[in-house]
Structure 1
């Protein structure tokens, strides 16, 4: 219960962060730079491979953060490492601005996973203190740019599942105050797959 309260408090107080702290990139410059991203992330940031994330519609801050983390090797990925090595801070701002400006798409949740996925997303689990995803990511998975919580609604279920399993295994550890590692660690794989499917259909 204490962990759930702490998560809610973090969500609340982080939401007070001013949007003035965000850099504003050049959308057109970002669009030109994004041509090299299309091979994996698709035209306009809609990836065709469900193991690669959609970038379209993601909050600019979050894209900036992840690109900086890839560049500094705080987040390790053999595919992304060479792609970000030559990016300047301005390049990153521009790419983030472009992808944030592009409308995303919504997937279809698997019918057999909706019930459990919705329960985890909206209510969490009382027995082990798992907080509801809705507390930080909102009712439709839009997250919050000012609070620096990413948009997850409509994202590929396969990618969401991989991300949660990576946090659970702590092979990904670039989350703020280990929040996602703690949350994912409180879910079993069946719950992770169910909530990932449910989130993919949110909009």
Structure 2
């Protein structure tokens, strides 16, 4: 191995370790109990224990904490649109967001009830999703958990990425290549996990 490649490798490893330590420190600082108290304002839409009964609102139980914080910050800044969530996020501090994320991520997720034939069609196309969202669609770091999410909610988000009304550069490009049938099948499969 060339010296410059060796040093670049060490530098990259050091930066990754530093990033992991920073994230671990913020995760340790999160207070699940405080998040539970703060979550009372979330139950009207996201349901008790983070299990929304209305497909208009996402299930938050078991969601990745990094993703929750990222989305709350996006709603607060206005980079993600949603009038209800923008208003809800405005009053949240970074600590509030971290506590809420710790609470919701600690809750037991569930599996959505779906049409098994539609889910079977979606499974055949799911490899493009599972690369980022995890082999069981459990989510990874800032990539959200898709497993157990309302299929109608997932379909709505994929359509928003496809039309460009929701931004997320890789998702916009991926969704543009999906037909309406692909979207419905993928949403059914991912919700069934």
TM-score normalised to structure 2 length: 0.85
Is structure 2 residue 45 aligned with structure 1 residue 40?
yes
Specify the SS of the correspondent of 2:125: helix
Structure 2 residue runs of 5 or longer lacking an equivalent are 1-15
Structure 1 outlier segments of 4+, above 3 Å: 16-19
* Inter-partner Cα distance in structure 2 for 1:152 and 1:111: 17
Deviation per CA, 1:146-166: give whole Å up to 9, x if none. xx3211111110110011000
Is structure 2 residue 156 aligned with structure 1 residue 165?
no
Counterpart in the other structure of 1:125: none
Is structure 2 residue 168 aligned with structure 1 residue 185?
no
| TM-align CA RMSD | 1.4
* 1:111 Cα deviation from its structure 2 partner: 2.1
Match of 2:92 among 67, 87, 95: 87
TM-score normalised to structure 1 length: 0.81
* 1:68 Cα deviation from its structure 2 partner: 0.1
Alpha-carbon contact 1:121-1:134 (below 8 Å) kept: yes
* Inter-partner Cα distance in structure 2 for 1:76 and 1:97: 23
Alpha-carbon contact 1:137-1:150 (below 8 Å) kept: yes
* Inter-partner Cα distance in structure 1 for 2:20 and 2:180: 36
Higher RCO structure, 1 or 2 (CA under 8 Å, sep 6+): 1
Larger-gyration structure (1/2): 2
**How many matched pairs?**
173
Is structure 2 residue 21 aligned with structure 1 residue 30?
no
* Inter-partner Cα distance in structure 1 for 2:143 and 2:21: 16
Deviation per CA, 1:114-169: give whole Å up to 9, x if none. 232011103xxxxxxxxx21211222111213xx3211111110110011000001
Select the structure that is richer in helix.
Answer: 2
Match of 1:156 among 150, 155, 158: 150
